[in-house]
Amino acid sequence: MVFWEGYVSDEVMGTFAPIVVYWIYAGFYHLLPSLDNYRLHTTRDEEKKNLVPFKAVVKGVLLQQLVQAIVALILVSHSTCVNLYSPVIIVVHISHL
């Protein structure tokens, strides 16, 4: 039993949970500038190499996630029978190739 049971369906949670996790992770990444030695690229390198403004990146990511969520909700709402084991079968077949 999970805390959202009864409030939100698993399909809706599966659509929006990755988006929320993405923004939490991105927020932690930007809130930790003091750990510059442990980052992939230093803050100075990021400022020098990033040609696209921060606002444009956020706007693009939000647009992409909006489209992704809309498509996922349309697909979930139009699916009549969901086979929960089909992704496992696909992974097994791909791993044997």
List the domain boundaries for the chain. Answer: 10-95
pLDDT, mean over the chain = 76
Rounded to two decimals, the pTM is 0.65
Mean pLDDT of 13-18: 88
pLDDT, residue 12, reads 83
92: left (phi over 0), alpha (psi -120 to 50) or beta: alpha
pLDDT at 5 exceeding the cut of 90: no
* String of DSSP letters for 39-53: SSS-HHHHHHH--S-
- Which residue has 């009549």 as its token pair? 80
Q: What percent of the chain has pLDDT over 90?
A: 22
Sign of the alpha-carbon torsion through 57, 61, 64, 66? negative
pLDDT digits (tens, 9 = 90+) for 46-79: 788 888 888 999 999 999 999 999 888 888 877 7
